[in-house]
Amino acid sequence: MKKLFFFLVILFGCETKNDSLPNVILVLVDDLGYNDVGFNGSNDIRTPNIDMLSHNGVTFTNGYVSYPVCSPSRAGIITGRYQDKFGYGLNILYTPKDPKMGLPLSEYTLADLFKSKNYITSAIGKWHLGAHESLRPLNRGFDEFFGFLTGGHRYFPEEWTLEDETKVKSQGDAYRTKLLRNDQRVEENEYLTDALSREAIDFIDRNNDNPFFIYLAYNAPHGPLQATKKYLDRYDYIKDKRRKTYAAMVSSVDDGVGGIIDKLKQHNILDNTIIYFLSDNGGSKFNSSNNYPLKGFKGELYEGGLKVPFVMHWPAKIKPNTVFEKPVISLDIFATIKSVINPSLELKNPLHGKNLMPYISGKNNDAPHDYLFWRNNGHQPPQEDGTRPRYITWALRTLDHKLLIRRNDSMFFDLENDISESINIKDSLSESFNFLNSKIKEWNESNLDPIFLGLKDNKLYNKLNPDRFK
């Protein structure tokens, strides 16, 4: 009888742990090219640990982000909403005194969602959603923060010479600030990517008995291109110096992902941990990335600016080697997680993503989205007074086609047969073109113009705010 009781305790104890709320780790990399991971065909950069997530999870071959540059894309991910619906249509400036430069306080975040179910939450790495005190991670649902606030950072700790915001005198200076642990600047001696991975692994060690959420936002492989000898030595066969350094930076991320996987295995929680891996936008033309076979780069509404490596790993619920080919978007992450951890929660603001679990499992064979939309609030060349007038470009994706509207031309592509967007079929499908153009106009009716000046308005912002760094 005692043996039976002991067996039942073990049995039900295991079931309770396996059936509990899943842990969630969102691994977000910066400016990674579509073809710069093994599971998308890279032939010069090795990513065995990231590939493992793909092989044992679901790979979204048509996975998109909601904006082709960093900060608006992140605003979409962390809210599950098209960022233009709340006026987040530009890459933000580093302005620690400005409470409007960042994610509006009216927006509910992924971290807020997890706190509704008493998760322990941590933001690690690049924030880039506002540097003002009210906009920082600890005020947006996170229990812990380790990282930096600006849109990029230098990688070698000996270059982190600025103690705090009072020492920052320009936009670029923020790349040299010491890292923050919660609200305190700290000394650090590890290569940036390694330090971020270390912090994620430590967080798992400390919280493996609680449901947790880690928002792990690596800076790599965003410029500046900097890597340690440890990673550079792996790519002696790459002769182009920039490409070699870029590959080394991607490799450092892959090592970090491997360390996280090992730690989850050690605590027997890998199967019930959801791991997302994606880039915030397409590869940049300035960091030696490779978006093949896609056209375009970061900042553009061609596929190369919007389509990213995108994986979801959850062994408890997702069959290995699942490939999902219908279009999905980063906004779906919020909706999917909500359906898993707190489906009955009423939200003030409507979500624009879809719960992907029925589609991944095959219970629903329809496309998750009839349409995906993009609005790019670009800039014209600077005028004499330093201002850069905006121009807007638009894009819409259906299951098979893509409409792209720019200042002086419009394009219509058959993505099913022309993934590289090389043939404009606008004239042969004018009726479809006009219909989809009307859909863009309809979607835009509830969009807001940007509520703040953007990165390319740096000179104008300084002129309007002369005490920005004083």
Is residue 208 in some structural domain? yes
Whole-angstrom Cα distance, residue 353 to residue 60? 15
**CA–centroid distance for 348 within its chain:** 23
Tens digit of each residue's pLDDT (9 = 90 or more) over 150-169: 999 999 999 999 988 889 99
Q: How many domains does the chain have?
A: 2
Among the candidates 342, 361, 380, a domain finishes at: 361
Is 185 among the domain residues? yes
Residues 171 and 265 both lie in one domain: yes
Please report the DSSP string for 178-222 in residue order: PPEETTEE----S-HHHHHHHHHHHHHHHHTTS-EEEEEE--TTS
Check if 70 is active-site: yes
- Say whether both 233 and 169 belong to one domain: yes
Q: Are residues 353 and 410 in the same domain?
A: no
Q: How far apart are CA 225 and CA 235, in angstroms?
A: 15
Residues 6+ away with beta carbon under 8 Å from 236: none
Q: Are residues 336 and 455 in the same domain?
A: no
Q: What confidence score (pLDDT) does residue 18 get?
A: 39
Each residue's pLDDT tens digit, 348-379: 999 999 999 999 999 999 999 999 999 999 76
Do strands 273-279 and 23-29 pair parallel, antiparallel, or not at all (unpaired)? parallel
In this structure, the answer to whether residues 137 and 238 fall within a common structural domain is: yes
Assess whether 346 and 390 both reside in one domain. Answer: no
Let me know if residue 12 belongs to a domain: no
Q: Are 425 and 414 in contact (CB under 8 A)?
A: yes
- The answer to whether position 367 is within a domain reads no
| pLDDT for 6 | 44
d(CA 92, CA 104): 12
Question: Does 376 share its domain with 284?
Answer: no
Residue where a domain terminates, one of 308, 335, 361: 361
Q: Is 267 a catalytic residue?
A: no
| Whether the bond into 224 is cis, omega within 30 of 0 | yes
Using CA atoms, how far residue 134 sits from 67, 119, 130, 298, 326, in Å, is 24, 21, 8, 29, 38
Same domain, 268 and 401: no
The answer as to whether 469 is a domain residue is no
* 410 and 274 in a common domain: no
Give the residues of the chain that fall short of pLDDT 70.
1-19, 379-389
CATH number of 412's domain: 3.30.1120.10
Residues 378-406: tens digit of each pLDDT: 766 566 666 666 778 999 999 999 999 98
- Give a yes or no: residue 3 inside a domain: no
The closest alpha carbon to 179, from 205, 161, 197, belongs to 161
SS3 (DSSP) at 88: coil
pLDDT of residue 4: 46
d(CA 356, CA 349): 20
CATH code for the domain of 312: 3.40.720.10
Between CA 258 and CA 260 the distance in angstroms is 5
**In whole angstroms, what is the distance from residue 413 CA to residue 307 CA?**
15
Is 158 inside any structural domain? yes
On whether residue 4 sits in a domain, the answer given is no
327 and 458 co-located in one domain: no
The interaxial angle of helices 241-266 and 48-55, nearest 10 deg, is 60
Q: What is the pLDDT of residue 427?
A: 86
Catalytic position from the list 55, 128, 222, 379: 128
Q: Looking at residue 433, what is its pLDDT?
A: 86
- Marked catalytic residue, from 70, 153, 222, 313: 70
User: For residues 205 and 182, what is the distance between their CA atoms, to the nearest angstrom?
Assistant: 18
DSSP 8-state class, residue 153: -
Q: What are the tens digits of pLDDT across the range 238-296?
A: 999 999 999 999 999 999 999 999 999 999 999 999 999 999 999 999 999 999 999 99
- Give the per-residue pLDDT at 387: 63
Among 313, 338, 361, give the residue marking a domain's end: 361
CA distances from 80 to 9, 30, 128, 301, 334 (A): 40, 19, 17, 20, 5
313 and 353 share a domain? yes
Contact partners, residue 251, CB within 8 Å, separation at least 6: 45, 46, 47, 231, 234, 235
Strand partners, 429: none
If asked whether residues 352 and 431 sit together in one domain, one would say: no
Instruction: Give the list of residues 6+ apart from residue 417 with CB closer than 8 angstroms, or none.
Output: none
What is the extent of the structural domain holding 457? 372-464
Instruction: Please give the pLDDT value at position 428.
Output: 84
Residues 26, 358: Cα–Cα separation, whole Å: 20
192 vs 199: CA distance, rounded Å: 11
CA 228 vs CA 155, 190, 201, 467: distances in Å: 9, 10, 21, 38
